[in-house]
Amino acid sequence: MRRLQDRVAIITGGASGIGRATALRFAAEGAAVVIADIDRDGGQACAEEISAAGGKARFIETDVGRESDLQRMVDGALREYGGLDILYNNAFRNTPGAAADITDEDWDGTLAVTLRAVWKGSKLAIPHLLKSETGVILITGSVHSIVGFAGSAAYQAAKGGVLSLTRALSLELAPKVRVAAILPGAVKTPGLRAVPADEHAEFLRQVPLGRNGQPEEIASVAAFLASDDASYITGAGIVVDGGYTTH
């Protein structure tokens, strides 16, 4: 029996990187997957790849910063697949900038996509997750959720916020719905391009495993957390960082 057989999952930011790898993995584990992303080409390509391999997937164009899009995303999952078991809040925006420099617009835009949308998407999904026997909310945080970095104050604040929100949601939804955050270190995705090369090299020097993670190494943790194998985990932030935060 595949671990997510017949479960219905929404993955935001599912067109690329960690979200894409997780969509492929969830589908291989038997889930029907809604890929919610602003990237129409990437999202459709991911859904087609899953369908071609015999899995179930639909792309729903979604800007998680817009409540009407989030509603359409949830409604679409219900309409296509008749329920909702897993919401994976994974989309993000990272506008670099120190706290002293960042503009109001960049601060608000980063928080809207990286933190507020996690709350709002969860809020819209909760009534449906409560009807599931196996409801799970997953959230992609970051090592930024637990240690400090200079130069990306809004992203840092948002990623700290999502770990706190994970804890709040886990208490509010227990015992019906489990909630967990995944806190990646450096993972080789298109999203990593935003990190300046010298900062990335310095980060990697401090990674005991000595390399970037691969998106599939986050997807495997997401599949575990979404499944009954993680039935006693809620409220946790699972660090997947090659050992970076052990220093």
Ligand X SMILES: NC(=O)c1ccc[n+]([C@@H]2O[C@H](COP(=O)([O-])OP(=O)(O)OC[C@H]3O[C@@H](n4cnc5c(N)ncnc54)[C@H](O)[C@@H]3O)[C@@H](O)[C@H]2O)c1
Q: So which residues are the catalytic ones? A: 155
- Residues 137, 87 contacting (CB under 8 angstroms): yes
Nearer to ligand X, 152 or 170 (CB): 152
How far apart are the C-alpha atoms of 130 and 117, rounded to whole Å? 19
If one asks whether residue 37 binds ligand X (CB under 6 A), the answer comes out as: yes
Residues 121-180 that bind ligand X (CB under 6 A): 140, 142
Find the DSSP H helices in 140-196: 153-173
Q: Tokens representing 31?
A: 């889930």
Asked if 192 is part of the footprint of ligand X (rule: CB under 6 A), the reply reads: yes
Only one of the segments 96-104, 172-180, 188-196, 220-228 lies at the binding site for ligand X (rule: CB under 6 A); that segment is 188-196
CB 22 within 8 A of CB 88: yes
Q: How far is CA 197 from CA 147, 167, 194, 204, in A?
A: 20, 33, 9, 10
234 binding ligand X? (CB under 6 A): no
User: Closest CB to ligand X among 176 and 217?
Assistant: 217
Tokens of 121: 């998407």
Residue 209, interface with ligand X (CB under 6 A)? Answer: no
Closer to ligand X by Cβ: residue 18 or 154:
18
61/80 with CB nearer ligand X? 61
Residue 95, phi-psi category: left (phi > 0), alpha (psi -120 to 50), beta (remainder): beta
Binders in 3-22 for ligand X, by CB under 6 A = 12-13, 15-19
Single out the residue of 48, 130, 131, 190 in contact with ligand X (rule: CB under 6 A).
190
Residue 184 binding ligand X, by CB under 6 A: yes
Least separation in angstroms between residue 53's CB and ligand X is 20
Q: In whole angstroms, how far apart are CA 140 and each of 75, 89, 102, 119?
A: 22, 6, 23, 13
Stretch that binds ligand X, among 60-68, 75-83, 98-106, 122-130 (CB under 6 A): 60-68
Do the Cβ atoms of 32 and 23 come closer than 8 Å?
no
Examine residue 38 and tell whether it contacts ligand X (CB under 6 A): yes
Q: Please choose, out of 96-104, 167-175, 184-192, 223-231, the segment that lies near ligand X by the rule CB under 6 A.
A: 184-192
Q: How far is CA 72 from CA 84, 97, 155, 162, 240, in A?
A: 13, 32, 26, 23, 31
User: Is residue 104 within 8 Å of residue 112, measured between CB atoms?
Assistant: no
Residue nearest to ligand X (CB): 17
Q: Tell me which of 31, 57, 113, 221 binds ligand X, using CB under 6 A.
A: 113
Which residues are near ligand X by CB under 6 A? Answer: 12-13, 15-19, 37-39, 42, 62-65, 90-93, 113, 140, 142, 184, 186-187, 189-192
